[in-house]
């Protein structure tokens, strides 16, 4: 199987798993619906190793299209097809709310995850997660 196909398969599999895990009657402890997801202050201090890399976002886009667009939408607006039934809904990555966060905070969220979004720590390499951060910056406006 080609690696792109297996990546897609992995993305779909993780979505399916997550959807199965988040039944409507499930109560997530301490995280009531509507509560804001805030990264710890220490995350702001994590340096983006690709901050000066003007091309890294291109690889980030590939990963995004394969693994994130299904929930967050192709333009990052939070309108992906698999996100429609989720609570909370996938974030609008173009919003001021997201764009005003530090690179470190966004990276921390991708790494840590929060149901119904997976943790990408094991699914993606460190570098791939930073490439995604750079691509999310491109989604601005
Ligand atoms: C299963 C659907 C799903 C997939 C796939 C997914 N996300 Fe999410 N994502 C969510 C949801 C839902 C939230 C909102 C969580 C919350 O606010 O409690 C979220 C939140 C986020 C946030 C935090 C936004 C904020 O409010 O600060 C970022 C950044 C993010 N996602 C990026 C990504 C990236 C990059 C990928 C691909 C590697 C991805 N997501 C894949 C559902 C998904």
Q: How far is it between the farthest Cα atoms of the chain?
A: 45
Q: Is 23 in a helix, a strand, or coil?
A: coil
Profile the chain (141 residues) by mean pLDDT over runs of 10 residues: 62 58 44 76 98 97 98 97 94 97 98 96 98 96 66
Look-up of token digits 């173009």 = 94
Q: What is the CATH number of the domain that holds 122?
A: 1.10.760.10
Q: Give pLDDT, residue 28.
A: 41
Q: Give pLDDT, residue 141.
A: 66
| Cα–ligand 1 centroid distance for 95 (angstroms) | 13
Quote the number of domains for the chain. Answer: 1
Going 57 to 59 to 62 to 64, the CA torsion angle's sign is negative
Q: Give pLDDT, residue 53.
A: 97
- Ligand 1 pocket list (CB less than 6 A): 15, 18, 37, 64, 67-68, 70-72, 82-83, 86, 88, 90-91, 93, 97-98, 101, 106, 109-110, 114, 116-117, 120, 132
The residue to mutate among 67, 90, 139, having the most atoms of ligand 1 within 8 angstroms of its beta carbon, is: 90
The residue to mutate among 79, 91, 134, having the most atoms of ligand 1 within 8 angstroms of its beta carbon, is: 91
> Whose C-alpha lies nearest to ligand 1, atom 2?
71
Q: Is residue 117 one of the residues assigned to a domain?
A: yes
Q: Give pLDDT, residue 18.
A: 57
Going 40 to 41 to 46 to 52, the CA torsion angle's sign is positive
Residues of the domain holding 70 = 3-20+50-138
The pLDDT tens digits of the residues spanning 34-72 come to 579 999 999 999 999 999 999 999 999 999 999 999 999
Whether cis (ω within 30° of 0) applies to the bond prior to 116 is yes
Q: Is residue 106 one of the residues assigned to a domain?
A: yes
> The whole model's pTM is what?
0.82
The Cα–Cα gap between 91 and 73 comes to: 10
């Amino acid at each position: 199987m080609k690696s792109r196909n297996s990546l897609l398969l992995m993305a779909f599999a993780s979505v399916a798993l997550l959807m199965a895990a988040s039944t409507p009657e499930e109560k997530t402890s301490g995280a009531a619906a509507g509560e804001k997801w805030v990264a710890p202050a220490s995350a702001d201090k994590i340096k983006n190793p690709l901050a000066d890399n003007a091309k890294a976002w291109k690889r980030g886009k590939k990963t995004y299209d394969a693994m994130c667009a299904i929930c967050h939408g192709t333009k990052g607006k939070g309108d992906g097809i698999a996100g429609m039934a989720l609570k909370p809904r996938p974030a609008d990555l173009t919003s001021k709310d997201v764009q005003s966060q530090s690179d470190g905070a966004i990276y921390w969220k991708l790494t840590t995850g929060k149901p119904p979004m997976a943790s990408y720590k094991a699914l993606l390499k460190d570098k791939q997660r930073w490439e995604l951060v750079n691509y999310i910056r491109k989604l601005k406006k």
